[in-house]
């Protein structure tokens, strides 16, 4: 076993432990999980899957429960700046020491079984929440559902926000195939809440097959919410219904719901940062469906807008650009430090001659150039979690954020 003293040491070592970063399948992680939790986890769990809207739905659930006396754990991924963002208890990110203690316990129980970076993170989540004696945990499913490591937990309520085409290499290239993968988080006799407005037959059939009571949410929440965009009303309604399903064990009052949805906040989901007389909008939209939603939200308050954009090569970049092209007057293109990032030349070639593009050296350079445009009042940064992470780092260092 390597000597690992700091959290960074542990994370570097995990990245090298398995060559592949994404390995779907529960066989390996299930063995370690059962060693750690032979009787299952000692808290109630809500698992949240979906193509888009997972983070926002979790933010609403978390915010409502934080109005109550219950101790609530929230697990999301990926992180933007610090790994600790993946685990929060009552809204506070956990310490390096808590994470390292969890990793040490996993290592003790691993006994040569190879685990991915994400599987370490999933198991660490459960250990940290158990150590902290949370009442409830809200767990974000990383990819798909059926074969994602979060699915080792038998949740009390499952949530599927929506189904769109993304991660086709792993989940299939139709909504029916993807719907079946997401449906894998359902459990017999345990409620599932789905916010998709046209759920695939595969999802409906699976709920019937395993006898999971399915509630379809068709109407958005009518009250005031803390997140911007009409789509967030639907996410709020999904969150409230999930909470109602646990009401016999964890009752919350109507006032807690009203206050919770109003106070909900989440980074990089149409997050506005004022810089002088301009507004920078950070949004992790990284597939066509999410870009469509982003464009709708931008269109609700029309103004001259430029974009700082980059994406991973395996994404449907052509459609993302086309969907946003009427809204964006000037595109600043930036390289990303991720392995799967698109090369700058390939990205530039995706734009037509009529579109104004500037290739930038890095994110710092792109933000400075965009801010220097006198007549532009809004700069939207989107395309990938990596794009936002680079932007958030620069904005923090510049004390804009």
**Tens digit of pLDDT for each residue in 316-373?**
999 999 999 999 999 999 999 888 899 999 999 999 999 999 999 999 999 999 999 9
Q: Are 401 and 302 in contact (CB under 8 A)?
A: no
Pick the CATH number of 271-397 from 3.90.1820.10, 3.90.190.20, 3.40.50.2300, 3.40.50.300: 3.90.190.20
pLDDT at residue number 164: 87
Q: What is the strand order of the sheet 271-275 is part of?
A: 271-275, 278-282, 378-382, 305-309, 328-333, 357-359
Asked if pLDDT for residue 1 goes beyond 60, the answer is no
Q: Which of 18-22, 144-148, 259-263, 397-401 has the highest mean pLDDT?
A: 259-263
Sorted by sequence, the CB contacts under 8 Å of residue 399 that are 6+ apart come out as: none
How many C-beta atoms surround the C-beta of residue 387 within 10 A? 28
For all residues of the chain together, what is the average pLDDT? 94
Q: Where in the chain is the domain with CATH 3.90.190.20?
A: 271-397
Is the pLDDT at 173 greater than 80, yes or no?
A: no
Q: CATH class for domain 7-263? A: alpha beta
Mean pLDDT for the stretch of residues 51-66: 97
Each residue of 130-146: pLDDT tens digit? 999 999 999 999 888 99
**Residue 2's pLDDT band (boundaries 50, 70, 90)?**
low
**166 falls in which pLDDT band (50, 70, 90)?**
low
- pTM value is 0.94
Residues of the chain with CATH 3.40.1190.10: 7-263
pLDDT exceeds cutoff 80 at 24: no
Q: How confident is the model at residue 168 (pLDDT cuts 50, 70, 90)?
A: low
Average pLDDT value for residue range 241-268? 97
Q: If you average pLDDT over residues 233-240, what whole number do you get?
A: 98
Report the alpha-carbon distance of residue 52 to residue 29 in Å, rounded: 25
Q: Crossing angle, helix 288-299 and helix 317-324, to 10 degrees? A: 10
């Amino acid at each position: 076993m390597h000597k690992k003293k700091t959290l960074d040491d542990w994370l570097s070592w995990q990245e090298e432990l398995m060559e592949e970063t994404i390995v779907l399948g529960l066989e390996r992680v299930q063995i370690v999980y059962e060693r750690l939790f032979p009787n299952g986890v000692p808290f109630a769990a809500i698992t949240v899957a979906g193509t888009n809207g997972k983070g926002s739905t979790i933010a609403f659930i978390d915010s409502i429960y934080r109005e109550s006396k219950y101790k609530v754990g929230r697990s999301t991924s990926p992180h933007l700046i610090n790994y600790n963002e993946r685990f929060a208890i009552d809204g506070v990110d956990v310490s390096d020491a808590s994470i390292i203690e969890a990793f040490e316990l996993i290592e003790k129980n691993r006994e040569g079984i190879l685990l991915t970076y994400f599987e370490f993170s999933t198991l660490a989540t459960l250990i940290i929440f158990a150590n902290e004696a949370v009442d409830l945990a809200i767990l974000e499913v990383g990819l798909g559902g059926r074969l994602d490591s979060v699915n080792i937990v038998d949740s009390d309520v499952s949530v599927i926000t929506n189904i769109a085409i993304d991660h086709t290499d792993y989940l299939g290239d139709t909504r029916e195939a993807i719907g079946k993968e997401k449906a894998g988080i359902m459990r017999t006799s345990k409620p599932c809440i789905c916010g998709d407005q046209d759920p695939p037959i595969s999802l409906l059939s699976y709920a019937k097959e395993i006898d999971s009571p399915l509630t379809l949410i068709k109407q958005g929440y009518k009250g005031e919410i803390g997140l911007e965009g009409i789509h967030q009303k639907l996410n709020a309604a999904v969150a409230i219904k999930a909470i109602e399903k646990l009401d016999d064990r964890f009752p919350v009052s109507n006032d807690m719901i009203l206050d919770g949805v109003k106070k909900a906040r989440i980074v990089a989901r149409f997050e506005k940062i004022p810089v002088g007389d301009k507004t920078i909008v950070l949004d992790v939209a990284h597939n066509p469906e999410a870009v469509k939603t982003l464009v709708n939200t931008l269109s609700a308050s029309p103004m001259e807008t430029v974009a700082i954009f980059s994406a991973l090569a395996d994404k449907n970049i052509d459609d993302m650009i086309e969907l946003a092209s009427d809204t964006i007057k000037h595109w600043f293109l930036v390289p990303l430090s991720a392995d799967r990032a698109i090369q700058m030349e390939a990205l530039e070639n995706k734009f037509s001659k009529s579109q104004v593009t500037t290739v930038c050296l890095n994110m710092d350079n792109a933000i400075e150039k965009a801010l220097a445009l006198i007549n532009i009042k809004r700069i939207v940064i989107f395309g990938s979690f990596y794009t936002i992470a680079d932007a958030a780092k620069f904005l923090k260092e510049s004390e804009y954020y």
